[in-house]
Amino acid sequence: MTEVTIAVCTANRPTLLSKLLSSLREQTYSHNLFEILIIDNGTDKQTESVVRLHVPLTDITTRYVHLTRPSLSMARNCAIDIFQGDILVFLDDDVYTDPTWLEIMMRAWKDFPTRMIGAVGGKILPDWAIDPGVFNDRRFWWLFSLLDYHRSLTVMKPPMLPFGANFALSRQAVEAVGYFDESLGRRGKTLLSGEEMKYLNQVRKEGYDIVYTPHAVVHHRVEEERLNIKWVLKRSLWEGITLYVISVHSLAKTRRWLRTFHKAIEMVGYGILAWAVPATKFQRLHWKIQWYIRWGFLTAKRTLGGELKHTATDYGPEKLAIKK
């Protein structure tokens, strides 16, 4: 009986996907109690080949779906439509898991028997491709989707949330919230994000607790191309764009204008700090990141054009390879 679906949304990273699948084959959790669901919305044909090579190596039920539109949120929504069991777990394709990862993730649901748990998030540690330099400072980890929230199992306090690379949802929470917002999340080469942040905030609004377990560990590959100031500032710019998109869907027009005015004032302040005030290298970088976030928020409408509207789920032709 399938208790858990592990959904891996992937796009054009077959080598990293292969490493992830290898780690999932080593899970200590009973293999007949979970399945692996690969949602491929990339164009690299090697991805399907990686899945086909994986299937004969394991007794874990594995399903493969190919979507024709490049959208992370759409891939997550596809998983929502077809997952089995009581728990839906999401992993990014550029992570790999510890052998006890799923066993510990599942145990977290049972450790709070008197609470209504809607989601569980785990630790995300770095697998740096090169020496990260200043970016190894944990105050910059969020830029690389790295998370080390607490030393022990705990209920996360607002506004803290798990990251999308390693989190799970209960079926009850999914039924209460519905789909991910498809105006958010990675699409093609953009760094738009926030789909899991908006979703998990809604889980919390529905009355569910969100638990963090530091022992359900995944390792996130951070490639050399990301470990430079140019990429970090681009990522910061898109963080601001993400926050604007979320505000469009969650705030009334007057409150959105007030927030925009506030962001403009903050941007001026951070600009003065970043470029006119003597500071350490770390402090100057922090101020620049904050400036770019505000600049992204203020220019989001122009950057995205007409792409702010929530889109209906339309996967396009699907192709499934199922092992039972």
pLDDT tens, position by position, 105-137: 999 988 988 789 999 999 999 999 999 999 999
Phi-psi domain of 211 (left: phi exceeds 0; alpha: psi -120 through 50; beta: other): beta
**Do 214 and 248 lie in a common domain?**
no
154-155 and 320-323 strand pairing: unpaired
Average pLDDT over residues 169-186: 96
Question: Is residue 133 included in any domain, yes or no?
Answer: yes
**Do 282 and 195 lie in a common domain?**
no
In the chain, how many domains are there? 2
pLDDT score for 113: 82
Contact in structure between 171 and 81 (CB atoms under 8 Å): no
**Do 272 and 148 lie in a common domain?**
no
**Do 107 and 68 lie in a common domain?**
yes
Question: Is residue 296 included in any domain, yes or no?
Answer: yes
**Do 213 and 79 lie in a common domain?**
yes
Question: Is residue 45 included in any domain, yes or no?
Answer: yes
Domain with 183, as residue range(s), is 4-226+314-323
What do you get for the CA distance between the two ends of the chain, in Å? Answer: 11
Q: Show the CA angle centred on residue 89, arms to residues 86 and 155, nearest 5°.
A: 85
Q: How far apart are CA 42 and CA 47, in angstroms?
A: 8
**Do 263 and 318 lie in a common domain?**
no
Of 29, 46, 37, the closest CA to residue 9 belongs to 37
Q: What is the CATH number of the domain that holds 220?
A: 3.90.550.10
**Do 274 and 156 lie in a common domain?**
no
Average pLDDT over residues 61-70: 95
pLDDT score for 309: 53
Q: What predicted TM-score, i.e. pTM, was given to this entire model? A: 0.94
**Do 195 and 287 lie in a common domain?**
no
Average pLDDT, the chain: 93
**Do 221 and 237 lie in a common domain?**
no
Sign for the CA dihedral angle at 141, 162, 314, 206 comes to negative
Question: Is residue 309 included in any domain, yes or no?
Answer: no
Q: How far apart are CA 305 and CA 183, in angstroms?
A: 12
CA distances from 131 to 136, 139, 217, 219, 226 (A): 8, 17, 21, 16, 12
pLDDT score for 323: 42
The two structure tokens encoding residue 187: 């699409």
- Over residues 1-15, the pLDDT tens digits come to 899 999 999 999 999
